[in-house]
């Protein structure tokens, strides 16, 4: 979805019931930092999507889960 302001993105995202992952596409580093620090999601990608490192724990917020999967020493 396209938005006009970062505040609109943050408000809309934080009103959802889920928070597994988010992607931010922007050329403005300040907007990328503001949005990624303000929304509640397990993983937030900047200018890419679905790039995962198996050594990095992955999980969500809200109704998207309470624990983390993968990561060093985890098998599932």
CA distance 40 to 42: 7
pLDDT at 67: 61
Domain range summary for the chain, segments of one domain joined by +: 6-69
Burial 51-76 (b: 16+ CB within 10 A, else e): eeeeeeebbbeeebeeeeebeeeeee
Per-residue pLDDT tens over the stretch 41-73: 888 899 998 887 777 776 666 666 666 665 565
Residue 32 has pLDDT above 90, yes or no: yes
Query: Which residue would you say has higher pLDDT here, 16 or 28?
Result: 28
pLDDT tens digit sequence for 8-25: 989 988 888 877 788 889
Map tokens 């949005």 to a residue. Answer: 35
């Amino acid at each position: 979805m396209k938005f006009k302001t970062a505040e609109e993105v943050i408000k809309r995202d934080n009103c959802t019931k889920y928070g597994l992952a988010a992607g931010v596409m922007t050329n403005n580093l300040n907007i990328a930092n503001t949005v990624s620090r303000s929304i509640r999601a397990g993983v937030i990608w900047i200018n890419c999507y679905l790039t995962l490192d198996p050594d990095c724990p992955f999980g969500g917020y809200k109704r998207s889960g309470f624990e983390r999967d993968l990561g060093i020493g985890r098998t599932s």
